[in-house]
Structure 1
């Protein structure tokens, strides 16, 4: 089997998650989309989880490229807002991929190194909090958890519980609160 099949299978998964969400990512559907038998993916991906992790890796690569293109050289508040808005935009416009990227069972123990793929993104965030300052990593982690929560609640249509459906307003409040701490 050539590397081309691996690439086709991952590309088929990326297309499916974009078009129909994570529920469409069955081995059979990915194989069908790639034009191969339903058993062919096992030659490159021993488990369904391995194939999903390879698809999620594409999401990390895309998001990392978008983060790398940002100008974060100004004030930390401005950088956090720019990065946070990109995160919220990615969650909204690539919802299926966003959901796939953060599935717990994919983050641990896979050949694609998803946990490692997320570390450079966290380093950018930590840098905005002054990564060498005492407590900066914990603050960056708490902020990321908060940002992810805002994104997830927004996707679920549940932000009105906190009195607004404006994710950007919550982002600004979170940035200000974390910078004051």
Structure 2
């Protein structure tokens, strides 16, 4: 039996507690990983009863989706700042390198959040429009791929998807230590450059 929902408070209190629950979830996944994201633990750290989160998030999945949305927003902000702050070479390929490096750095330094963001059940359920939250950054990738490969017979979205899949695989395998073991590389940069060459063609020498 579910515990009774807390009595309604003011709209400001509702928004404040909802935000607090997500804040706590973000902190938990960042520090302790995705396994720490139970409703009970989030409620405990937020200082509310273990049944309180269900008033704002009817299911555990909806709360996890709200936390994942923060991750996508953070990644998008980092990508925009990196692209806006880039100096020197501003060609589409150079911007793709900047975007890809930002993506990999986020994945490797925010492993718990990154794992949560791409959980199949969250994306499949599309709670809180989670898929739509992730698409704008993919659109940026498609736009840059379009400009970097204007004569390609491959649809830009398909080429961008293949590059994204490559980057996602690098992030996962690097995080597990597999790529270091297999290649002897101690930084993802050579792998990133190889991925760009594979999908865009080698840079002019």
TM-score bracket for the superposition, by shorter chain length: over 0.9
Distance in 1 between residues matched to 2:175 and 2:120, nearest whole Å = 18
Give me the CA root mean square deviation.
1.8
Indicate yes or no: 2:160 matched with 1:140.
yes
Distance in 2 between residues matched to 1:97 and 1:159, nearest whole Å = 21
- The number of residues matched between the two structures is 181
Q: Which residue of 2 aligns with 1:38?
A: 50
Point out where structure 1 has 5 or more consecutive residues left out of the alignment.
none
Q: Which residue of 1 aligns with 2:5?
A: none
Residues 111, 160 of structure 1: alpha-carbon distance in 2 compared, 3 angstrom cutoff: closer
Point out where structure 2 has 5 or more consecutive residues left out of the alignment.
1-7, 9-13
The correspondence for 2:67, drawn from 55, 74, 82, is 55
The correspondence for 1:29, drawn from 41, 44, 57, is 41
What SS is found at the alignment partner of 1:46? coil
CA deviation string 1:123-181 (max 9, x = no partner): 11111111795511100000000000001101111103542333211110010111129
Could you tell me how far 1:117 is from its partner in structure 2? 0.8
CA deviation string 1:19-51 (max 9, x = no partner): 100000000000001100000010011111110
Distance in 1 between residues matched to 2:15 and 2:174, nearest whole Å = 39
Could you tell me how far 1:98 is from its partner in structure 2? 0.7
